[in-house]
Structure formats: structure tokens, C-alpha cells
Amino acid sequence: MNLLRNALLASVAFAATAGTTSAIAAEKLVVVTSFPKTLTTPFEQKFEEMYPDVDVEVVNKSTSSSVKYIQETASSNTSDIFWASAPDAFEVLKSDNLLQQSGVSNENIPPDVAGYPMNDPDGFYNGFAAAGYGIMYNERYLDAKGLEPAMQWVDLAAPEYHGHVGMSAPSRSGTTHLTVEAVLQGDGWEDGWAKWKFIAGNFATVTERSFGVPDGVNSGQFGLGIVIDFFGLASKASGFPVDFVYPETTAIVPANVGVIANAPNPDTAKDFIAFLLSVEGQELLYRPEIRRLPVNIDAYANAPENFPNPFNGTIKASVNFDVEKSGARYNVVNSLFDVMITYRMDDLREAVRAVQLAEEKLGDGSNAEAQALIDEARALIAEMPIDEATSMDPDFNAIFKTKRKKAEDVVEGRQAEVEQDWDAQIVANYAKAKELANKAASML
């Protein structure tokens, strides 16, 4: 036993000293981030080069863990900067008073990117890079299945892609939420949701992490994925047989950075943000393993060839994105997506497949009776448990909020109760739609 004991003792002593050695540099900047090392390391190195007496320490966590971590450690905070994509994560921290205004700005950065505001209007966080959504596809997979790549969102609903598409849930990924919301705003509440449901009917899976989508396309578990551009292009750059296209209209969103309230080193934190926004910082974004769109217009002077530029229309956003609207119904949209799509994937898939097969059999639509049944089935699948007005109703949204603002606030209804009602309606509708579509098919 002695050997084991000595080895353990030695390693304990070693670990105890290792913990203290990192505190030598004069000033430490702690950055909590959800970005991968491939993105953070170049910025970390360049910044340390410019500020030799600063030691940047990157703490990497998933976005949701980061938010919980900052919330729970607020009472004795040791972190300076929060650096992540999803604007909603920043919104949560801002509303909990866990961010501080940095006062940093750069005049070469426009106030919005493709309709989406670049910075927090109250100055609690800044956009430092932009990214657009698109379709990533595996070339080997599509070749083997004899499919053409889909070029537009609506193509993904075509019957030939049944079972070949992957996407992440908006409740799991803030950027996915923006894509969902962009379609809802562009096509309207009812039509937008119908579009999503018929695309989702072709899903192979709804992944739990946003990175699960590029991963699934890379390994060939499914052929096409709805992903943010840098995932697709970085996969291609690492040698996977994949490619990425921007649909004609897409959602473009900024990734953000902000200073945490009570940061131990607020001034260095501001220097870091100023560096991110400067041309020197922005040009790091062109690296193939990072591959995000700079927000500083001056940085585009040295852009690689054919690099998309959201400021000159090389890529366009579908709608003038209404942030207020998106924020007002944020949790309702996420919950609806999960109840109607994520948790009822099999039911939805079967219903949509039945409709697709019936339509294929129907062909040119010479059978009016069958056509009517199919139309009814489509309407049942598309039917929404709530209308747009309800989705915007602040009282209704309060059911899904984390905290009541005041103790005397009374909320009618509970999330679980509401979701159960939705679920019952959805399951019945999908089952009925499948039955109608099968009936239509049997008439042909």
C-alpha cells in the first residue's frame, strides 16, 4: 500500500503548489467564454503581446454553464469579462445586474448589422464579430443518396430530404433561436411556424448542443444541417467533405463581449474590449479556424478574397430584425418549439411523412376529395396552440420567466400546465393529420 500512498501524497503536494504558481504575473484578466480554444488563443496571445504585464486567463464553459457560474459566484466575483455568442445570455446577466457598462466604442463599427443592433443600447455589451446562418451539407452523403444540396430554407421541406436534416433546438442555442425567430418575423407567426414544422418533419434529429449539428454532418449521421457559418466553413477547412451555403436570406447576428459587474480589473477589461474592436483584433477573425465576420468596416480592407461582407450586401438578412419583439416572446418561442417539435419529433415526422407520401401519390391533384383531406392534414400539422397576440402578451410571457420581479406579482397559470395543454393538442393534431393523409393516400 505504501507505494500507492506515497504516489498520492506526492501528487497532492504537487497539485497544491501548481495551483499557486500562476499568480506571478502583475495583472490577471479572467475571461469567461464559450468560445473554443481555436478562437480564444490567437486573441489571448496578441493581447498579451501588446500588454506584456497582463496575464489573460481563459475559463471555458458552455454558454449556459457560464451564465450560471457568473450568477452563482457574483458575491465574490473573480471574473472580468464574459465573451460569448448568444445575445440572450448577455440579456440574462444584464437583467440580473451582473454586467457593467464598459464605455468602449469604435467609430468604424456601424450601429447595426443587417438590421440587428450591434451593441446593447444601454452599453452593457458590445458586438465584436458577426455570423450568418446557412445550410451545411456532407458531399459524400448526398452523393451516396443521390441528392442535390438544398440552397434555400424552404428546400429543406422537400420530401426528398426526409430524414436527412439536422438542427439544434432554439432553447439550447441562442443563435438557433435567432434563426427561428427570423423566419417567424419574415413569414409571419402562422406561416413561419408552418414552415418550421414542415422542415422539422424532415429532421433526422434535434441535437442537444448547437455543435451537435456540424458534428452530425461531419460524421455523416445526417446529410444537411442548419448551422452558423463558421461551424460549416471551419469543418471544411479541417478537411471534412462538407460545404456551406448562405441561403438568399439569412439571419446575421453579432457575437458579444461585456465586462462583468465588480470585475477585479475593470480597466484591463476595457483595454481587452477596445483591442477586440480594433482593426488588429478584428483581422484575427479571418483565420480559417475562426472564420467570423468582422464588424469594424476598416478591417474589410484586408479581407481575403470572396469574403462575405454584411455591410456591402454580399450577404443579406431576411428581415429587419425586431429585437424588442424577439425579446418579448423569447421563452414562449423556445417552449413552443420544444413542445411542438423537439419532444414530439416522432409524431411530427410520421405526420409529415404521411402527407408527403399522399401528395406524391396524388401527383397533379386530379382527385379533389383526396386533395381536401391532404389540405386538412397540412392545416392540422400547422395549427398553432396560441396566436401571435398571445405570444406577445406580457402576462402570458410572465409564466415562463425565471423570477417574479416583485413578491406581489401574481402570475396566472404555470409553465408545466400550459405546456401540457399544448402537448395534448399537438399530439392529437399530428395523429389526426397522419390518419387523414393515410386515408387520402388509400383513395388514390
Q: Between 58 and 252, whose beta carbon lies closer to another protein?
A: 58
Stretch that binds another protein, among 32-40, 194-202, 267-275, 297-305 (CB under 8 A): 32-40
Q: Using the rule CB under 8 A, which residue among 6, 11, 152, 442 binds another protein? A: 11
User: What's the min distance (Å) between Cβ of 99 and another protein?
Assistant: 15
Alpha carbon distance 33, 2 (integer Å) = 43
Query: What is the H or E stretch that residue 99 is in?
Result: strand 99-100
- The string of DSSP codes covering 256-307 is EEEEETT-S-HHHHHHHHHHHHSHHHHHGGGSTTT--EESSGGGGGGPPTT-
CB of 288 to another protein, least distance (A): 9
For residues 437 and 159, what is the distance between their CA atoms, to the nearest angstrom?
14
Q: How far is the CB of 343 from another protein (least distance, A)?
A: 6
Residues 379-408 close enough to bind another protein by CB under 8 A: 399-400, 402-404, 407
Q: Select 11 or 152, whichever has its Cβ closest to another protein.
A: 11
Q: Which range, of 57-65, 115-123, 275-283, 314-322, touches another protein by CB under 8 A?
A: 57-65
Q: Is 143 exposed, middle or buried (0-12, 13-18, 19+ CB in 10 A)?
A: exposed
Q: How far is CA 280 from CA 50, 283, 301, 431, in A?
A: 11, 5, 12, 57
Pairing of strands 203-207, 165-168: parallel
Q: Between 218 and 282, name the residue whose CB sits nearer to another protein.
A: 218
Among 94, 172, 195, 292, binds another protein (CB under 8 A): 172
Residue from the set 85, 100, 102, 171 that interacts with another protein by CB under 8 A: 171
CA pair distance 325, 17, nearest whole angstrom: 52
Task: List the one residue from 6, 50, 59, 152 that touches another protein (CB under 8 A).
Answer: 59
Rg (CA), the chain: 24
Of residues 60 through 99, those in contact with another protein by CB under 8 A are: 60-65, 67-69, 72-73, 75-76, 78, 86, 88-89, 91-92
* String of contacts with another protein for each residue 125-154, x by CB under 8 A: -------------x-xx--x----------
Minimum CB–partner distance for residue 160 and another protein (Å):
17
| Coil, strand or helix at 3 | helix
262 binds another protein (CB under 8 A): no
- CB 334 to another protein: min, Å: 7
Least Cβ distance, residue 362 to another protein (angstroms):
28
- Start-to-end CA distance of the chain, whole Å, equals 78
Closest CA to 154 of 247, 231, 251: 247
27 binds another protein (CB under 8 A): no
Contact set for another protein, span 231-250 (CB under 8 A): 231, 234-235, 237-242
Report the residue number, 278 or 425, with the smaller CB distance to another protein: 425
Pull the grid cell for residue 294. Answer: 468582422
Contact track, another protein, 181-220, x by CB under 8 A: -----------------------xxxxx--xx-xx--xxx
- For residues 227 and 214, the answer to whether their CB atoms sit within 8 Å is yes
Q: Is 8 in the site for another protein (CB under 8 A)?
A: yes
Distance CA 173, CA 63 (A): 9
Cα–Cα dist 279/341, whole Å? 42
Residue among 132 and 214 whose Cβ is closer to another protein: 214
Contact 182, 323 (CB under 8 A): no
Q: Taking CB under 8 A as the rule, does residue 3 contact another protein?
A: yes
Alpha carbon distance 399, 78 (integer Å): 33
Closest by CA position to 107, among listed 99, 90, 119: 119
Q: Which is nearer to another protein, 142 or 370 (by Cβ)?
A: 142
Among 371, 368, 358, 348, which residue's Cα sits nearest to residue 429? 348
424 forms part of the interface with another protein (CB under 8 A)? yes
Q: Which residue, 185 or 207, is less far from another protein as judged by CB? A: 207
Tally Cβ neighbours within 10 Å of residue 346. 9
Q: What is the DSSP letter of 240?
A: -
Q: Is 160 in the site for another protein (CB under 8 A)?
A: no
Q: Give least dist CB 93 to another protein, A.
A: 10
- Restricting to residues 312-371, which ones interact with another protein according to CB under 8 A? 330-331, 334-335, 338-339, 342-343, 345-346
